[in-house]
């Protein structure tokens, strides 16, 4: 992919389903409140992180392009 991504988890939406851990175990962890956090908020683009965001049942994971802030997921309407 070649791009750099910025990853955030909206803690007001996260329900701790751990789907992100299933799809990208090296990209996310659950904290003591059982909410997801990215291990590296700024990282190289990769399919596993995108799959994790797409699998989140409440779309709590937001991915933007580093630098420009353009939405990667969820896509803008």
For 51-74, the pLDDT digits (tens) are 999 999 999 999 999 989 999 999
- Residues 76, 36 contacting (CB under 8 angstroms): no
Cβ distance 55 to 20 under 8 Å?
A: yes
Percentage of the chain lying above the pLDDT 90 cut? 92
User: In this model, does residue 1 exceed pLDDT 70?
Assistant: no
Q: What's the confidence (pLDDT) of residue 75? A: 85
Question: 32: pLDDT confidence band, cut at 50, 70 and 90?
Answer: very high
- Residue position matching structure tokens 């175990």: 25
């Amino acid at each position: 992919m070649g791009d750099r991504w910025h990853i955030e988890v909206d803690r007001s939406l996260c329900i701790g389903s751990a789907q992100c851990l299933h799809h990208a175990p090296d990209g996310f962890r659950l904290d003591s409140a059982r909410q997801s956090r990215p291990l590296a908020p700024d990282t190289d683009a990769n399919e596993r992180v995108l799959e994790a965001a797409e699998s989140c049942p409440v779309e709590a994971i937001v991915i933007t392009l580093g630098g420009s802030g353009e939405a990667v997921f969820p896509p803008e309407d």
